[in-house]
């Protein structure tokens, strides 16, 4: 029985450095995998931003045109009306001396 315990202890001590080395290799592989995944995600997001940028620029231009409309009105029957401002309303008012106040 003592020989079995001695052999078991020797085998465990002999295998423990190999087990620790295997764990460090797994951690290194995990780190490399996470780095590759991070890099791939960055490239994917850059590509998506490149494709969506023209649409965002167009949307920005559409948002600047909103000052040509009055605020929405809700009618008693539930209809919503958004009235366009007349060209006279869009020009800034002149002061008494004919200058435009900024």
Q: Which of 68, 93, 41 is nearest to 49 (CA)?
A: 41
Name every residue whose Cβ is closer than 8 Å to that of residue 84 and which is 6 or more positions away in sequence.
68, 69, 70
Q: Which of 93, 68, 63 is nearest to 83 (CA)?
A: 68
What is the chain's mean pLDDT, rounded?
A: 75
pLDDT in the model for residue 8: 65
Cα 13 to Cα 76: distance, rounded to the nearest angstrom: 86
Residue 34 pLDDT greater than 80, yes or no? yes
* 3-state secondary structure (DSSP) of residue 77: coil
Global pTM exceeds 0.75: no
């Amino acid at each position: 029985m003592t020989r079995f315990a001695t052999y078991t202890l020797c085998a465990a001590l002999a295998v423990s450095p190999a087990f620790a080395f295997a764990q460090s290799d797994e951690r290194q592989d995990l780190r490399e995998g996470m780095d590759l995944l991070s890099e791939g995600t960055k490239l994917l997001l850059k590509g998506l931003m490149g494709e969506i940028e023209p649409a965002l620029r167009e949307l920005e231009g559409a948002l600047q045109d909103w000052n040509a409309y009055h605020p929405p009105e809700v009618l008693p029957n539930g209809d919503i009306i958004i009235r366009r401002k007349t060209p006279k309303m869009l020009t800034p008012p002149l002061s008494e001396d004919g200058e435009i106040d900024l």
